[in-house]
Amino acid sequence: MNIILLGPPGAGKGTQARHLVETRNMVQLSTGDMLREAKDSGTEMGKVVADVMARGALVTDEIVIGLIREKIATVSTDGFIFDGFPRTLAQADALADLLEAEGQTLDKVIEMRVDDSVLVARISARSTCGNCGEVYNDETKPIPADGKCTNCGGTEFKRRADDNPDSLKTRLMEYYKQTSPLLGYYYAKGMLNRVDGLGSIEQVQADIAGVLDA
């Protein structure tokens, strides 16, 4: 089963994707992770990516689609989670064409919906482990009293400089401008499913499982 996870910054897509990877043998395809991995891989595609990034140029849709094609052709999995792609209608069409060419389908699109004001408050209190990236929150999941990450035991934690109300509102506006056409696109195809992204981690997991198992 191949799915797209949509949601604004801080909605918890990464947390939910990790859970699906662990429990359903799926593979998360994050555009940023794939580009960094390709840049250091030494493959022909990797050399192209490294050159583009070294020049500070924008990575084209063709490059990203090429990286996704490589993953689909070489990785054994029970399904892919597309995270950060597609971002435009042209990318959505390109992804559909790629999956069809590979004999696969896009099965579900899940939007993690949020209340913006609650999300801004949540992210402003967010910090991450500097070693493994585990996310903590001053209110809902504080850093352990012993100062050690529960996931890896790391002791360095950091906050993003742009995790503040003004920057977050700008990022949310950009997200909605990009994503609104995609929501209409997948709704028209009968593929769009919505879950409450501000529930507890366990509740969101259960809601996503309900969508996937329906």
18 tagged catalytic:
no
pLDDT higher than 90, residue 107: yes
pLDDT higher than 90, residue 12: no
* For range 23-30, the mean pLDDT: 93
Q: What is the pLDDT of residues 129-151, one digit of tens each?
A: 999 988 898 888 899 999 999 99
Rounded (10°) angle between helices 44-54 and 61-74: 150
160 tagged catalytic:
yes
Q: In what order do the strands lie in the sheet with 135-137?
A: 135-137, 126-129, 157-158
Tokens, residue 6: 């949509």
18, 141, 171, 194: which one is catalytic? 171
- For residues 137 and 123, the answer to whether their CB atoms sit within 8 Å is no
Higher-scoring residue by pLDDT: 93, 41: 93
* For range 185-192, the mean pLDDT: 95
Evaluate if pTM is beyond 0.95.
no
Residue 121: per-residue pLDDT: 83
194 tagged catalytic:
no
- Cα 185–chain centre separation: 19
pLDDT higher than 90, residue 74: no
69, 126, 159, 194: which one is catalytic? 126
Q: What is the pLDDT of residues 154-165, one digit of tens each?
A: 999 998 887 888
Residue 187: per-residue pLDDT: 95
Residue 24: per-residue pLDDT: 95
